[in-house]
Amino acid sequence: MTAQVENGAAADPAADRALKEKHRAMWASGDYPAVAREVIPQLGRVLVDATGIGPGQRVLDVAAGSGNAAVPAARAGADVVASDLAPELFEEGRRWAAEVGVDLAWHEGDAEALPYDDASFDAVISCVGVMFAPRHQASADEIARVTRPGGSVGLLSWTPEGFIGQMFATMRPYAPPPPPGASPPPLWGDEEHVRGLFGDRVSDVRAERRRLPVELFDSPEHFRDYFKSHYGPTIAVYRSLADDPDRTAALDRDLLELARRFDNGVAGTRMDWEYLLFTARRA
């Protein structure tokens, strides 16, 4: 049976459960906590600072992963809930939180059906997380629902034109077709798209494109091989090609060419990965 989509949510519960299990397995594969720790460690703090999170606030991090933004929010003095569809990612986050001496709650939860009451958080954030939930409108509706009036919304997402957006564009011809109703993740990096998702439910919108300098990789080949072994979406595409060595080799070449195109390093590889920093106030 094909799932139909009504008002941003799946009408077929069985198909929706299967899709979410597939997403959970994808993010649990590889080593996303290493990506968060080694490639993008500063982004969580950027989001926390931009959202103005501080002591006394109740904060929800949606699609929190291993706590890239949740732990910095707790270090800022907030009472934090980290929610993610893949609780396998929490172990690394718990270790990190213990190392820096903060406590926060870790909850398994679906960004498209958050298990929290209306208006129950002072701030709701997501750092390159909620963008990967397939139904953008459903996720935006949930973020707006659980944020109290006057509370803050803070989102950090890869842009379509930036490196990660272009990586997804490169992988798209090799990947299985997306499920009905799903939207491309990098659309969360388009200001007009995000404004449209929230509409008049938010005010005081600020949207800024920034770049993250990435110097972890010794070469374009190092980037490609790292993402093949660490990053769930890339791993999933390669697994779908397991019986097709020619297409696997073609994707190898295309990802290598992409990294070379964005490499602006002189000694070693350096890339600037563009993201959209979006903050707003719940109307």
User: 49 Cβ partners below 8 Å, 6+ apart?
Assistant: none
Closest CA to 241 of 251, 232, 233: 251
Contact 66, 129 (CB under 8 A): no
pLDDT at position 66 over 70: yes
How far is the C-alpha of 136 from the C-alpha of 33, rounded, in Å? Answer: 24
pLDDT averaged over the chain? Answer: 95
Rounded to an integer, the average pLDDT of 231-248 is 98
Mean pLDDT, residues 272-277 taken together: 98
pLDDT value of residue 11: 58
Tell me, what's the pLDDT at 250? 98
Strand pairing of 9-10 and 5-6? Answer: antiparallel
What is the pTM (predicted TM-score) of this model? 0.94
HEC string of 21-90 equals HHHHHHHHCCCHHHHHHHCCCCHHHHHHHHHCCCCCCEEEEECCCCCCCHHHHHHCCCEEEEEECCHHHH
The third-level CATH classification (topology) of the domain covering 16-215+271-282 is Rossmann fold (3.40.50)
pLDDT digits (tens, 9 = 90+) for 138-176: 999 999 999 999 999 999 999 999 999 999 999 999 999
pLDDT at 266: 77
Q: What angle do CA 116, 84, 142 make, to 5 degrees?
A: 40
**How many helices (H) and strands (E) are present in the chain, helices listed first?**
11, 9
